Structure formats: C-alpha cells, structure tokens
Amino acid sequence: MRSEKKRKESRSLLIAGGFSFLFSAAILFGARLDSVENVDVKDITLWLQLAAFTVIFTGLSLLLWRLMDGLQDRGVSFAGKTVNKITGVFNVTDAQADVAAFLFLLLCWLPVFLAVYPGFFVYDAQDEYIQVATRVFSTHHPLVHVLLLGGMLCGVHKLTGSYNLGIACYMVFQMVLAAGVFTFLFSYLRTKKVSRMLRLVGLVWLGVFPTVVMFTLCSAKDALFTLALLLLLVCLLEMGTGETFFDARGWQLLFVLGGMGMMLLRNNGFYAFLVMIPLLLLVQKKRRGRLLFLSLCAVAGCMLINGGLKAALHAEDSEYQELLTVPIQQLARTYQYAPDVFSGEELKSLYEILDEETLSLYTPRLSDPVKYRFDNETFARNKGKYAKLWLRVGMKKPLIYLNAWWMTSYGFWYPDTIINVYGGNTVFTFTYKDNSYFGYEVEQPGVRESKIPWLNEVYRKLSLEVWKEKIPVISWLFSPGAMFWLYAFLFAWLLNNGRYELLRPFLPMFVIWLTVLLGPTYLPRYVLFLWYAFPLLLAVTQMGMRGEKT
C-alpha cells in the first residue's frame, strides 16, 4: 500500500515536473525572443531561472491537481448540481434545445455579419477567386476550398452582378454550417451528461467570443477545416468513451467525413492525419482492423478527390516553399547575421535559389517576404545539392537555425506574445501598425458596406489594435500560446489520473499544432481549434472530475 502510494507520488511529480519545465522554458525563451529576437543558450542566468521556475510551477501544478482531485473524489461535477437545478426549470425537449442553440448562435453572429458586411474576405481570398475567374489553378491553396469560395462568388456575380452578394452568400453558408456543427457538439455533450450550465457557457463562448466570431465570418479555409476537425474530435471521444462506435455506421461515416474534410482543407491536415493513424492504432485496444479500414477510407477519399480535381483543372503543382518555410528562413537568417560562414561555393549555391535582393528581405517573424521569391524550378532540378547546403550551414551555426525557427513559431507557445507579424505591411484598405491579430478587411473585388458602423469599428479595433493583448487575464483568452498551455495543463492532469480515453480525442489537435510550428509565422488562424474546441475541453474536464470511466 505504501509502495503504491509512493509510485503514484513519483508519477505525479514526474508529470508535473515535465509540464512545468516545458511551460517555464516557453515563458523564458519566449520573453527573450519577444524582446531581443534571440535566445542565448550560453546564458547561465537563463538556466538558473529555468530551474527556479520549474520548481515553483511544479508545486503549483500539484496543488491545483490536488484541488481538482478533491472535487473528483467527492463526485462533484464541474458546474455543480445546484446549477443543474436552476437551469432545469426550463422544461424543453432535446430537439427544442438543439433548435434554440442553433438559432442562438446565428442571432449572435448576425449583427456582426451586418456590421462587417459582406464579411471578412481576406487571407488569400482574392487569389482563390482569381483562380476560378481565370480558370488557371494551382495547388497552392486546397482546390476544394478554391472551387467552393471562388465558385460561389463567380456564380452569384454572374446571376446578380454583385461581388458583395457572392461573398455574403459564402459567409451565410459558413455561418449555418458552423451553427450546425456546434449544435451537434452540444447535443452530443448532453448525451454524455455534461452539466447544463457548462453547455450554456460553451454556447455563449462560441456565440460571442471575438476570435470565434471573426473566423466564422471569414472566408479563409481555417473555419471549415476546424469544423471538420471538431467532428473528428467528437468521433474520437465517442470511440474512447462509448460502447457503440464500431457498431454504428453513422459514427463511422462521420469519422471518415471529418478526416477527409480536414485533409482536403489544409495540407498540414493531410500530414497530421497520416501521423495520427499509427498513434490511434497504438492506443486502440479493440477493433484495430476496423479503425485502420476507416482511416484508409478517409485517406483514399481525400487522395481521389484531390487527384481528380488536380487532373480535371490542370492545376499546377510545382511549389516547394510551403514545405521548406523553416529551412528557407534559417538560411536567410544565417546570411543576415553571419554571412562569413558561407564559403564561396556555398554562397554561389545559395544565390541560385535565393538571390541577394531576396535575402535582404529577411524579417524574423515572417518568412513570406523571402519564401515567396524562392526559386522552385532551380531547386527542383537538384534537390540534393541544396539539402546538403542547408545541412552544412546548419552544422556551422546551429543556434542561428534554432532562433530562426523559434522566431516564426514562438507565438504558438509563448503566452504573452503580441501578434504583430505584419507590422508595416500595406494591404488593400490599411497599413498594419502595432497589431495584426486578424486580417479584418474585404479584399477586392469586394468592398465593405457596413450596416452597423459602430460595431464594425469595434471589430476593427479588436483586429488591428493591441489593447486587448495588454489586459491582464483577458489577454490570455486571445493568446494562442496561453490557450495552448491551458489545454496542456488539463491534459497533464488527465494523464496523471490515467484518463487516457479522454485524452484520445485531442490527439489530432496536438499533431496539427506540431505541424504549424513548421509554418511561415504565428497567427491565431492556424490554431483556430484552440477556440472552437474550448467547450469540448471544458466538458472533458468535467468528465475527468467524475472519477469513474465514462
């Protein structure tokens, strides 16, 4: 008995210590990257601070976990029985509750839609529209989304002569789809006996929190991608906690469709799903053959659709810079800060794929200025040559390589990051100044026609001004880094309690988060799932507090 207790204490200390070490490193490294754009790993002060912070946060984590376990041991739900009694006075059927949730979400979003009419047509929107308008396609953006967005815009314009109406139709389509997926989520959580108040909190969050609303009314592919991912998360939760997933065709079909959706709508979704398959098979104790079959169906469906569209549209597929974002940025940073490390032959090779003018455009937080002028054709002719160049230079200056990567990714793991990667860049209707949290504008051929100007101004300030990220506590709700660590803290607690079945649904989220670390910069749009899945996280936390296997 004593030995078992000691093992549990050691396990808790190990998990809390590991979490605290990573969290402390994120704070200390991130603060240096934010202020001086460099982490000096030879600084002894840094490591002394890391040790001290790790000890402090380990103690705090263990204390908070003990409090949460106390609730668990007493069988107290997250919101409490009293809250359920209060909300229980509303005697409505499940169907009525679902309709009310669906309408509530649409009514919350409608005033903002009218304020920013025809919606946020931004983040590659013009490029996707032009592909359809000119019938010249590439695989730079997912073809499914290109056809959906550009096709709807061109089709409505052809019928009505209005581009704005075409954009608005797409926004209404996305709003209705999002409301439907969110309603399905809350309906499912009701079957898992998640408290009414917690479902209400989640509903209000999805209805009014600005980050959720911004992207629900945004033409970027991120919203549809995240909705598909959310359906997949629900399937994985049912797989781990339910009894009928592998006997219910509806659940299995939803798993395939959710997986296909995330793979079709973002390239990193495809890679993340492939990585997720063996991990799922590892934790799935029964029906592994069926799980493998469903996963392969999703992959095959994605490849058939993508391959068919690519062939039918004669889409160009010759770009490498999206996959090589980090190596390109590492070479550019090394050239900027330590050009002497390049030999004459190495410099000649570098200029073949990145000329001097391009290398001079290096900015630490954003790879786009250099990446967009990368010579794909030259690289394609001798990939091995340039891979060896990258490796040789990296062996000479590994710390520069590390800092180059951290500078484009630290916003995903540093809680106090100010999102200002586009500072100074001029777009269609404004110039980014001290904040680039959200794109906000309407790209051509659309134009803003606000029906509620004061609310439009509120969202302009939320998108382009820094004040929200300087308000204590509130700023964390807008921060990708802070939201990530909230998830990580609760995951560590579930891991400590052996609730692996509740961790499973978030596996694809974590894999996708790892892939965005290799992206061109840090923006909330790339990790929108941190906000869309927040009600699911709260629900899973309540399930973990119940103490028994669900």
Q: What is the pLDDT of residues 530-541, one digit of tens each?
A: 999 999 999 999
Q: How far apart are CA 42 and CA 402, in angstroms?
A: 13
pLDDT at 78: 44
pLDDT at 550: 44
Q: How far apart are CA 84 and CA 196, in angstroms?
A: 6
Q: Is the distance from CB of 128 to CB of 145 less than 8 angstroms?
A: yes
Give this prediction's pTM: 0.93
Write the pLDDT tens digit of every residue in 182-213: 999 999 999 999 999 999 999 999 999 999 99
CA–CA distance from 111 to each of 121, 223, 249, 355 (Å)?
17, 19, 39, 49
Q: How far apart are CA 331 and CA 146, in angstroms?
A: 32
Q: How far apart are CA 479 and CA 211, in angstroms?
A: 10
Region 111-121 average pLDDT: 97
- Is residue 278 scored above 90 in pLDDT? yes
Average pLDDT, whole number, for the chain? 91
Q: 91 pLDDT band (50/70/90 cuts)? A: low
- Is residue 284 scored above 90 in pLDDT? no
Q: Is the distance from CB of 124 to CB of 368 less than 8 angstroms?
A: no
- Is residue 277 scored above 50 in pLDDT? yes
Q: 287 pLDDT band (50/70/90 cuts)? A: confident
Q: 77 pLDDT band (50/70/90 cuts)? A: very low
The DSSP secondary-structure symbol of 245 reads: G
Q: How far apart are CA 519 and CA 515, in angstroms?
A: 7
Q: 90 pLDDT band (50/70/90 cuts)? A: low
Residue 431's φ and ψ, nearest 5 degrees, are -115, 130
- Is residue 475 scored above 70 in pLDDT? yes
- Is residue 355 scored above 60 in pLDDT? yes
- Is residue 2 scored above 80 in pLDDT? no
pLDDT at 86: 47
pLDDT at 52: 97
- Four-CA torsion 303, 306, 312, 315, nearest 10 degrees: -120
CA atoms lying within 13 Å on the CB side of residue 81: 5
| Closest to 28 measured CA to CA, from 57, 67, 68, 69 | 57
Burial 263-283 (b: 16+ CB within 10 A, else e): bbbbbbbbbbbebbbeebeee
Q: 83 pLDDT band (50/70/90 cuts)? A: very low
The residue with tokens 């749009």 is 525
pLDDT at 271: 92
- Is residue 99 scored above 80 in pLDDT? yes
Region 435-460 average pLDDT: 95
Q: Is the distance from CB of 112 to CB of 106 less than 8 angstroms?
A: no
Q: Is the distance from CB of 184 to CB of 229 less than 8 angstroms?
A: no
- Tell me the H-state helices in 88-221: 94-115, 125-134, 143-160, 163-191, 196-208, 210-216
- Tell me the H-state helices in 37-93: 44-73, 81-87
